[in-house]
Structures are given as structure tokens and as C-alpha cells.
Structure 1
Amino acid sequence: MTITRAHQPVVAPSVRTRTTLAHPTLLLVGIVLVALNMRACLAAISPMVGEVQRTFGLSATASGMITTVPVLFQGLGAPLTPRLTRRFGAERVVLGAVLLLGAGVLLRVLPSVAALYAGCMVIGVAIAILNVSMPGLVKREFPDRAATMTGVYSTTMLVGATLAAGVSVPLEKVLGGGWQASLGAWSLLAVVAAVAWLPQVLKSGQEKAAVAAAPAGRPVEGIWRSPLAWQISLFMGISSLLVYTLVAWMPTILVDHGMDRGKAGLVFAFFNLVQVAGAFLIPLAAGRMTRQRGLAVTMVALNAAGITVLLLAPVSGAWVAAAVLGVAQGGSLGLALAFIVLRSGSAAGAAQLGGMSQAVGYLVAAAGPVGAGALHQATGGWNLPLTLLLAFSGVAAVAGWGAGRNRTV
């Protein structure tokens, strides 16, 4: 396992033979539509959890697993993806994952508790495959604009999540089929994305000879022993833990401190909206830097500042906390994804690094909402969970400082 300076060429460049079907505009449209699916089906169920709980008579813990299971299976599915992409090609793997995601969305709304959780598992695996495949595709197709394109698709993911959370309840009323119709409708978005992605699959079949003549890079040996890879993985893991914990509990924290539920919902919506700006702007800034250490530490510091406001003045400082945390958490997500393409020397390396960092990241993140809820139940308050989030922020700052060096795995 060697670490090289990022500006040194470590592999032969990938070959990208454009055809009519593979026009860059079609590729961009395909990436955007795929990215819209990558968080929408997770966010869509959040406003519906209460109805799902009543339909099946679930306990509070069992209801919490509806959102935890997909995150857990994102971590479990991530390491499998680099092997799939090497065998079948990234384009085919992305198409298969989008179709699998649509199938998981439909499975989740069948009238069975077993189907509900099975659908959550399938959705988690499908998203894991997309999470890992996309950085490699971006690295290969946009080698000179990888950070910019990372900003585009990370922003699109959050836009999809924000729209899904906002329209799920109105969609339930429009369709008239209860929560099942509202959640099942998101499978149509997966079908649209699959159709838009088909030209890339056809293109990949036409490029086999060219790719064989000039491969896109060999896998990185010993990546799990790389300190740099672990630093990126820990930065992604703790950043994701902070995101998922606050997404799960921020409205409850505000309400428990006396805020009206309606106002808490508005603050939470604003928090999600600001994340979109952070997810777009921070990767753009990262792509213009040779080292991103200061940027990583700044994101962690903003996270810590927002958590501190929630700890000390949760109601009076709610809007400030939402603004600061929105920039920090959207920016941390975009920066973690940017690290995957900036710290790898090839598309194959990006897929491997993405597999490792997201396996570690989502397994760590899955513990956040459950752990915070358990600590709240044990202590009767939110001080201990929020204090622990501050402690984790310190670890993320150290990991981000290492991940931001001008090196590649």
C-alpha cells in the first residue's frame, strides 16, 4: 500500500469513447435522475412512520428500525460493489441498482411486516451500490471536474430528499390510497431514472474494445491497511452519524424543550434546505484546493457550533442552529464524497475507496439514531447525547485533517 502525492499520475487514464448515445448531456441527465432516487425513498417514509406504526401495530423501537435498517444495509452492501463493477461494468451495475431500488420501494408497501422490513433491506443495498458506483463513474467520465460533478450529484440527492419529505403527505391525499400509495409512487422515479440511464449501458457495450486496450486502472492493493483510506472513512462515518442522528431527533429535541410542533417542523425544513447549499458549494471549493484540511476542520467546527447552540439554547437559538448545521452537514457530505474522487488515482480506485469509506461510514452512522434515542430514554434528556456528538466532532476533525492532505491511496 503506497500513498502518493495527488498530482502525480499513478495509472493510465481511462478511455472515454463518446457516441451519440453517450453525449455528455445525456450522461448528466442520467446522473441527476439517478441521484434524485438515492435519498428520496428514505426521506419519503419519515412523515409516514406514525401511520405505518398504526397499520402494523409496531412498537416505537420497531418503528425506529424502519429508518435504521436501510442505513445499516448501506454499510453492509457497500464492500460488494467494487467487485460487481469490475465484473459487469459500472453502467450495468447502476442500472441494476436503480431497478432494485424501485423493486424495494414496491416491496416495502406490501401488506406485511416482513415485506416492510425486507423492502427496507433491499433499498439499503441498492443505495449502497449507487453510493459506491457514482464516485468511480464521476472520476472516469469527468476527471478534470470530478469535485464539481460530485457537488452536482450530492446536491441532487439532498434536493430529492427535501422534495420527498415535503410532498409525501400531500401525495397521500392526492392519490387516495393511504401511505402505501404515496410511498409506492416513488418507484416511478426509479423507472424514469432507469430509462434515462439506458444510453450509458448501450455506450458501455460499444466501448469494450477500447477499454480492453487501455484499462481504467487496476484495483488498489491493501486499501484496508491505508491510513489515508481510514481517515476518509472515519470522516465520512462520523459526519454521517451526525447527519442521521439530527435528522432523526432534531424536531423532537426542539419540541421536548417547549417549541410548538409546527414551528419545529419549519425549523427542520429550513435545516434540510440549507444542507442543499452546503452540499453544492463545499465540493466546488474543495476542487479548487490542493489540500482540503482547513475546509474539513471548518465543517467540523460548524457542526460543533450548531450542536452547542442546541445544547445551550435549543428554542431561542433554533434558527441559528438550523442554519449552521445545514451548511455543516450538507458540506460534510459533499466533502466526504469529494475526498473519494480527489484521493484516488483511477475509477477503479475510487470505487474501492468508496466501498470502504461507505461501508465504515454507514455502519457507524446506523448507530447514531438508535444510540441517541437509547441515551435519551436512559437519562430523560438530550444533554448527554448532544455532548457525545460534540466529542465525536473532535474525532472527525482529526480524521478530516488527515483526509485533506494532497495524497492519493
Structure 2
Amino acid sequence: MTQPFNQAKGTAIRRASRAGLVMLVLDVLLVAANLRAPITGLSPLIDDIRQATGIGNALAGLLTTLPLLAFAVFSLIAPKLARRIGIERTLYMGLILIAFGLIFRFLAPVWMLFVGTVFAGVGIAMGNVLLPGLIKRDFPDNVGIMMGAYAVVMNGIAALASGISVPLADELGLGWHGALSIWLLLTVVTLLIWIPQLRLQHKPSASASLNGKGMWRSSLAWQVTFFMGLQSLMFYTMIAWLPSILKVEGFSESTAGWLLSLMQFVSLPTSFLTPIIAGRFKGQRSLVTVIEIGLLISFLGLLIGNTWVSVISVLIFGFVGGASFSLATMFFVLRTKTSHQSAELSGMAQSIGYLLAAIGPTLIGLIHDITTSWSVPLILLVITAILFWLAGMGSGKNTYVE
């Protein structure tokens, strides 16, 4: 039976046994493992899909944009749905949508590939928004560790998916259909293991969550939103265009691809450590400044164009990129007082953030086409990094969304 939300009571129920706590940790990490692989596993297979189906470059590009648009729209809906049926059931619904999306991708008609991508994007949006709130509620004494573990698992499986998609399709003979759908096994396991959590669902009381309109009128909420949005724009722009930038600088296509994968793997240590460090301080402005310095060095290094400087720049971006994402999600927890406020702020920030992420790569690509150079796009990324720092100075203050 659904119970009125009570954070202390909910935590006590979850911690009734050590086995129950271990199972909850496993459940959270399994959900996190489902939140990137269906997307990052798609990009390396775009050329195979285009050749096999005959779709043009525009439709092929839409496959990578659709999930981000789904994030932007359904990030706002997820907190409202959680207030009605509880976080647990909403997360479970998201996993079901991811499963259906992966099944649709396996089917032959090409239009099912687009439908499946949208379904998966909607399900992932629910997990993106609600997991930080659930962690805040059920792990109040270990928020930093759990947020770090969540980020590491999500980004680690994402990097793995990028690396093994082509071998799965070509060397194991699964084809692009099979390589895209292999992650269904992980989703099904998560669905089965999550079932016991459905017995412990919580709805917020009237006083537990900040009114949605109030959140959108909060200057602090907007600063956190722009911090999240600008880091998303920079990250997805680099994901989209870094190989092209590196090839212009003299790297082979294979080397550029490996550097992109390496960039994601080196983000894992800072993805884990940043929330732990952030949680130990009342304010996080110094952490924001360290990340900012790294971003500026990485973009300016790519602008110089020297081979070894570019390699170092990619590695630095990986380190600070992982830190910036983890800090952005940590702000959802640190700048709110309840788990449902955290979900509301997460929904607002990720909605705007992923909309910027969807626009960024297209805009940067257009500017490159106009200027026939990567210099102007990289200068714009430097400006974006400065705006990111300004938003971080506001987000890093020791205060709460009111």
C-alpha cells in the first residue's frame, strides 16, 4: 500500500536489514547501468545502419538527437508522475519503456528503430531525473558515495557500450540489430531485481515538495539549470565533433575514435570522487573553479592543434567532464531539502540541459560549415566554459532552493 512520504521513516524501512540495504544499493546501480548504454551504443553503428537501411545522413543524425529531445520533454513529467504513483513505480515504468525500446530496435522495419529510440529515451529520462532524489532520501548519510557510484556505473557502462558495439555487430555476427538490442538482457535483469522495491513506494505530503511553479521562479534553480545545461552542451558537442577535430589535426580515424573512448574512460575516477568531495564542503565554488580551469586548458589546447597538446587536452577534458557532470547532479541533492524537491530541480535542470545538448552539436556543426574551420567553434566553447563557471559560482553557494 502506498504510504505518505516521510524521509526518516522511508530510510528506516529500507535499512530494516543489512540484506535489504545491500539489495537497494544493487538496485540503484543496476538502474544507473541502463541509463546511457542504449544511447552510446548507437553512435558507432550509425554508418552500418545508414548503409543497411538506405536512410540519409539527416535521418541518421536524428537517431542521436531523439533521445536528447526525449530527455528534455519527459524530464519535466517524471517528477509529477512520481508524486502520483511514487518514485519506485515511476522508475520501474521507465525500465519497462527502455525494454520496449530495445525490443522495437530489434524488429526489421526501419521506422521501428526510431520508435524504439524514443521509447528508450523516455525511460532513461525517468531514471535520470528520479535516481538522485531516491539516493537523497534513502542514503542521507552517504549521498556523496552513492552519487559517485551512480555516475561511475552509468558512465562506465556507456563507455563500454561505445567500445563493443562494432565488435558485437561485426565480429560476433549479431549485426546492428543484435548489437543494439543486447542491452535488453541487462534491462530484464534490472526489472526482475527491482520488483521487491515496489512494495516500498512513497508519495510526498503536501509540504514535502516545492510547488513546480515556485521552482521555476527560483534564481538558484535557474543557476543549477544553466550549470547542468552548459556542461551537457560541452560534453555532447565533444562527443559529436571531437573525432572530426582530431582528424583535421592529423590523427587517423581509428586513433581519433580510440581517443574519444579514452576520454570517457578517464572520466570515471573524477565521476566517483567529485560527489564525495563536494558533499564534505558547505560550498562548492572552489571545485567549480578547478573544473573551469581544466575546461579552458582543454579547449585552448585543441585550438593550438599540436599533436601531443591535443592528446593531453582530450585527457584533461575527460577528467573535468566527469567531474562537471557529477557535480551538476550533486547540486540537485545539495541545493534542496527533500527528495521530491531534488526530483523537481533535477527535472527542470535536465529538461533545459538536454535541450541545450540537442542544439549544441548541430549549432557547432553549422558554424564549422560556415567558417570551414574548427577555430571559431572552439572559441565558442571557451565562451561557453566561462558562462558555465558563472552559473557554477551561483550553484556552489551554501544555500537551498526556496
Shorter-chain TM-score above 0.5: yes
Q: Once the 2 structures are TM-superposed, how far is the Cα of residue 175 of structure 1 from its aligned partner?
A: 4.6
Alignment correspondent of 1:6: none
Alignment correspondent of 2:9: 15
- What is the DSSP-based 3-state SS (H/G/I as helix, E as strand, rest coil) of the residue aligned with 1:38? coil
Q: Is the 8 A contact 1:21 1:200 kept in 2?
A: no
Map residues 8-407 of structure 1 onto 2, 5 A cutoff.
13-16=7-10, 17-18=13-14, 19=16, 23-173=20-170, 175-204=172-201, 217-220=208-211, 222-313=214-305, 315-407=307-399
Residue identity opposite 1:303 in structure 2 = L
Q: Closer, same or farther in 2 for the Cα pair 1:381/1:183, shift >3 Å?
A: same
What is the TM-score when the length of structure 1 is the normalising length?
Answer: 0.92
Aligned equivalents of 2:247, 2:370: Cα separation in 1: 18
Alignment correspondent of 1:4: none
- What is the DSSP-based 3-state SS (H/G/I as helix, E as strand, rest coil) of the residue aligned with 1:115? helix
Q: Once the 2 structures are TM-superposed, how far is the Cα of residue 114 of structure 1 from its aligned partner?
A: 2.2
- What is the DSSP-based 3-state SS (H/G/I as helix, E as strand, rest coil) of the residue aligned with 1:321? helix
Q: Once the 2 structures are TM-superposed, how far is the Cα of residue 314 of structure 1 from its aligned partner?
A: 5.0
Tell me which moved more, 192-201 or 256-265. 256-265
Q: Closer, same or farther in 2 for the Cα pair 1:76/1:22, shift >3 Å?
A: farther
Q: Is the 8 A contact 1:107 1:115 kept in 2?
A: yes
Residue identity opposite 2:397 in structure 1 = R
Residue identity opposite 1:395 in structure 2 = L
What is the TM-score when the length of structure 2 is the normalising length?
Answer: 0.93
Q: Once the 2 structures are TM-superposed, how far is the Cα of residue 23 of structure 1 from its aligned partner?
A: 0.8
Q: Is the 8 A contact 1:138 1:149 kept in 2?
A: yes
Q: Is the 8 A contact 1:15 1:216 kept in 2?
A: no
Q: Once the 2 structures are TM-superposed, how far is the Cα of residue 100 of structure 1 from its aligned partner?
A: 0.6
Q: Is the 8 A contact 1:73 1:124 kept in 2?
A: yes
Aligned equivalents of 2:133, 2:19: Cα separation in 1: 17
Tell me which moved more, 62-71 or 328-337. 62-71
Q: Is the 8 A contact 1:46 1:165 kept in 2?
A: yes
- What is the DSSP-based 3-state SS (H/G/I as helix, E as strand, rest coil) of the residue aligned with 1:317? helix
Q: Is the 8 A contact 1:251 1:268 kept in 2?
A: yes
Q: Once the 2 structures are TM-superposed, how far is the Cα of residue 13 of structure 1 from its aligned partner?
A: 4.2
Aligned equivalents of 2:25, 2:206: Cα separation in 1: 23
Q: Is the 8 A contact 1:310 1:317 kept in 2?
A: yes
Q: Is the 8 A contact 1:306 1:321 kept in 2?
A: yes
Higher relative contact order (CA 8 A, sep 6+): 1
Q: Is the 8 A contact 2:46 2:60 kept in 1?
A: yes
- What is the DSSP-based 3-state SS (H/G/I as helix, E as strand, rest coil) of the residue aligned with 2:226? helix
Aligned equivalents of 2:215, 2:236: Cα separation in 1: 27
- What is the DSSP-based 3-state SS (H/G/I as helix, E as strand, rest coil) of the residue aligned with 2:36? helix
Q: Once the 2 structures are TM-superposed, how far is the Cα of residue 260 of structure 1 from its aligned partner?
A: 1.4
Q: Is the 8 A contact 2:229 2:356 kept in 1?
A: yes
Q: Is the 8 A contact 2:168 2:175 kept in 1?
A: no
Stretches of structure 2 lacking an aligned partner (at least 5 in a row): none
CA RMSD of aligned residues (A): 1.9
Q: Is the 8 A contact 1:12 1:215 kept in 2?
A: no
Q: Once the 2 structures are TM-superposed, how far is the Cα of residue 35 of structure 1 from its aligned partner?
A: 0.5
Tell me which moved more, 67-76 or 238-247. 67-76
Aligned equivalents of 1:107, 1:231: Cα separation in 2: 38
Q: Is the 8 A contact 1:12 1:216 kept in 2?
A: no
Q: Once the 2 structures are TM-superposed, how far is the Cα of residue 58 of structure 1 from its aligned partner?
A: 2.3
Q: Is the 8 A contact 1:271 1:323 kept in 2?
A: yes
Aligned equivalents of 1:324, 1:174: Cα separation in 2: 32
- What is the DSSP-based 3-state SS (H/G/I as helix, E as strand, rest coil) of the residue aligned with 2:266? helix
User: Which aligned segments of 4 or more residues in structure 1 are displaced greater than 4 angstroms?
Assistant: 19-22
Stretches of structure 1 lacking an aligned partner (at least 5 in a row): 1-10
Q: Once the 2 structures are TM-superposed, how far is the Cα of residue 327 of structure 1 from its aligned partner?
A: 0.9
Residue identity opposite 1:239 in structure 2 = Q
Aligned equivalents of 1:179, 1:218: Cα separation in 2: 44
Over residues 287-344 of structure 1, what are the superposed CA-to-partner deviations in whole Å (9 max), with x where a residue is unaligned?
Answer: 1110001111221221121011111125331220121101111000000000000111
Q: Once the 2 structures are TM-superposed, how far is the Cα of residue 402 of structure 1 from its aligned partner?
A: 0.2
Residue identity opposite 1:119 in structure 2 = G
Alignment correspondent of 1:5: none
Over residues 227-247 of structure 1, what are the superposed CA-to-partner deviations in whole Å (9 max), with x where a residue is unaligned?
Answer: 000000000000000000001
Residue identity opposite 2:169 in structure 1 = E
Aligned equivalents of 1:262, 1:159: Cα separation in 2: 21
Aligned equivalents of 1:385, 1:107: Cα separation in 2: 37
Q: Is the 8 A contact 1:14 1:215 kept in 2?
A: no
Aligned equivalents of 2:313, 2:387: Cα separation in 1: 21
Residue identity opposite 2:210 in structure 1 = P
Aligned equivalents of 1:293, 1:356: Cα separation in 2: 22
Q: Closer, same or farther in 2 for the Cα pair 1:174/1:161, shift >3 Å?
A: same
Q: Is the 8 A contact 1:75 1:361 kept in 2?
A: yes
Q: Once the 2 structures are TM-superposed, how far is the Cα of residue 146 of structure 1 from its aligned partner?
A: 1.5
Q: Once the 2 structures are TM-superposed, how far is the Cα of residue 22 of structure 1 from its aligned partner?
A: 7.2
